[in-house]
Amino acid sequence: MHITVFGTGYVGLVTGACLADAGHQVICVDVDEAKIEGLKQGIIPIYEPGLEPIVLHNHAEGRLHFTTDAAEGVAFGELQFIAVGTPPDEDGSADLKYVLAVARTIAEHMQDHKIIIDKSTVPVGTADRVRAEVAAVLAQRGAALSFDVCSNPEFLKEGAAIEDFTRGARIVLGTDSAHVEQRMRECYAPYNRNHEKLIFMDIRSAELTKYAANAMLATKISFMNEIANLAERLGADIEQVRQGIGSDPRIGYHFIYPGCGYGGSCFPKDVQALARTAQQVGYQAQLLDAVEAVNTRQKSVLFQKLSQAFDGNLAGRTIAVWGLAFKPNTDDMREAPSRTLMESLWAAGARVQAFDPEAMEETRRIYGEREDLTLVAHRDDALSDADALVICTEWKQFRTVDFDWLRQQLKQPVVVDGRNLYEPEQVRAAGLLYFAIGRADSLKPVV
């Protein structure tokens, strides 16, 4: 099949690369000339494990193409995927200006039937707006051309996107057209051989499915963080509680790890957008509001624990930070807990020495050069002359530490673990004050 993908961000590039890898002819369209030129030269604009070799191989084989020419992209394929960003608007709703702009672009250039596929995460009713935009432009052109609009939400986890696309649990498709169903079956046939993964439904249900899935996962995280905060105050160990409830198959072990809050490009934006959608139809989604409120509060926990350890005296301190990305195996720092921590430390007069295996350039892009931020090349370098260590991201290389050695590196024996990587008894046996999430903290302040 000949397939066009508008957008070469996280969703668009993974979608285009994986469809090309299955044998389709794919062209990716983007307005960013530098990004497109880079892709033509083999420069991948995002970090995602396994993506680079797929892009390079399929581009070299002539199945994956890149262009800034929208007319070329529209002419290329019957299937037109819209995979551009939907950033949050000021009120928390999803901003559809890029999605609707692509819809107009397709309508301006199309010369035959097109299937327009919403791959971006969009509110319920977006397909109707896309259909109206296309119809209006075609009417202005006086062009009597047929088209279909389909919803095909993505379910890609950053850090595991290739696995999710090629071996995902389901492929959700919203359409009311038998022709669209047949063409989408052809599109996804290479990834639907082992068992039936295609789930067809009406368009609005498909649009809501994406938001409901992310809201459910975010709810589990916020619920566990709420219970963790309660465990601290009751003298219970949340890790033991997690094992106890996770053993119930109705609950399971996925997404019940307590921590310093969720971040990234999906959960915060999608929970807010769904709550805003509820308001627009006259319904107050109290649970969604609570999920977001708990998460916002949780991002401040690391700073609060540091402040507790130093009895509020953080000015002039140097704090080592391990992990800047919002999760492992990505360089994405959108809504990352590390950002809340660092900005609070700077406001309190402290310095930050930080390391992340992948997010260093992204940190420089966000914060630039500043005297109170030092980005180091290796994990251990962050500890040099540091008063305390804070762990924000559970990268594998942070999971095993010689605690006696760690005690010698730090000027003050303070470790704040935002991901519960270590056993408290082992850390404290080395003479360290250990602050975790939902576990009994070392309460004695550093003098």
CB 237 within 8 A of CB 439: yes
What is d(CA 336, CA 356) in angstroms, rounded to the nearest whole number?
13
Q: Judging by beta carbons within 10 Å of its beta carbon (0-12, 13-18, 19+), is residue 108 exposed, middle or buried?
A: middle
Element of type H or E holding 353: strand 351-355
Size of the chain, expressed as the number of residues it contains: 447
Q: What is the dihedral of CA 109, 110, 115, 117, to 10 degrees?
A: 0
CB 325 within 8 A of CB 358: yes
Q: Judging by beta carbons within 10 Å of its beta carbon (0-12, 13-18, 19+), is residue 234 exposed, middle or buried?
A: exposed
Write the single-letter amino acid at 371. E
* Marked catalytic residue, from 18, 28, 260, 266: 266
What is d(CA 288, CA 212) in angstroms, rounded to the nearest whole number?
10
Write the single-letter amino acid at 227. I
In sequence order, which residues have a C-beta less than 8 Å from that of residue 391 and are 6 or more positions away?
322, 323, 398, 415, 416, 417, 418, 419, 421
The SS3 of residue 75 is helix
Sheet holding 64-67, edge to edge: 64-67, 25-29, 2-6, 79-82, 114-118, 147-151, 171-174, 198-201
Angle of CA points 181, 183, 184, to nearest 5°? 65
Helical residues (DSSP H) of 22-174, grouped into ranges: 33-40, 51-60, 70-76, 97-109, 126-141, 161-167
DSSP codes joined into one string, 307-343: HHHTTT--TT-EEEEE--SSSTT----TT-HHHHHHH
What is d(CA 410, CA 319) in angstroms, rounded to the nearest whole number?
10
What is d(CA 152, CA 122) in angstroms, rounded to the nearest whole number?
10
Is residue 266 part of the annotated active site? The answer reads yes
Please identify every residue annotated as catalytic.
266
